[in-house]
Copies of this chain bind each other. A is one copy, B any other.
């Protein structure tokens, strides 16, 4: 898109736009702030699908009436190394924000701890959350089911969500090592983009309603997506269903899409976040061993391979220096949400 078709914005302007839209659609002030922080982070890191674009998804979800506008998260201290945060049917961000200090304190007191977010609506990536855990000097793992769109390996019908797994590791003097990927072959939005563009999808992304491999995006969206990595990806996706579903007393992806009942809302259910304190196993030697981990990253980048968040961190540097640019049609769509 030519520069003339892009709208330049500072990150403060992105935040102000997000606040205005979310407030206009009824979200309470605490939730507006928590959601805005996520939207700004996505736009700042040049994640087109998790920046201001997400406000469209978010408002659409608010309009279904399936999400609480103002529920205050309730923290349950259920065990020495576990905390549950009941989001009360609202977006996940505020529940995460309120629970994080408790999770971090428990991880530091016990060496390892886990936080369950319950009854929350998910529309964002997990990497902002693992980054926030890592900012406490902790190693983080986070995962959540979604809506049942993905068939198990060897199967023909949707059962799993896109079930992302995110991981974060603190790096002294550098952005953390972070990955965050769907256990589906690709994000659902990617197939949706192919459908809109009338382009075929590669083999391995989806099957049609009869369970046959397809390169037709619409047929895959009406059939089932596939997991990445065959039976191994399918096993990981099963694990996500279990540990961020029944283990924390919350919905599976099949239950989430049944609850949605065609409304087109974002996935509803739980999220599991595990935090490990390097000082727990290593005591005074933690810094020495965390420094030793740098050899792994050097071993990757030293042979010309990339670290998972490298592109995102490059985008962050650009945005922090120069602000961001939003495509004009998207900007106009967002302005209409203020009417």
Residues of A within 8 A of B (CB): 78-82, 84, 109-114, 116, 139, 151-157, 159, 165, 167, 169, 177, 179, 181, 183, 228-236, 238-239, 241-243, 245-249, 252, 254, 274, 276-278, 280-283, 285, 289-290, 292-293, 295-296, 299-300, 303-306, 308
Contacts and interface: CB of A to CB of B under 8 A. Distances in A.
A195 to B, nearest CB: 23
A114 B116 CA distance: 18
Tell me the dominant secondary structure on chain A's binding face: mixed
B235 A179 contact: yes
Given A81-B112, A246-B292, A248-B281, 4 more contacts: A139-B247, A169-B242, A177-B242, A228-B229
A159 B110 contact: no
B84 A110 contact: no
A293 B155 contact: no
B304 A155 contact: yes
Nearest to A299: B159
Contacts of A300: 152, 155, 159, 238
Contact of A152 (B157, B295, B305): B305
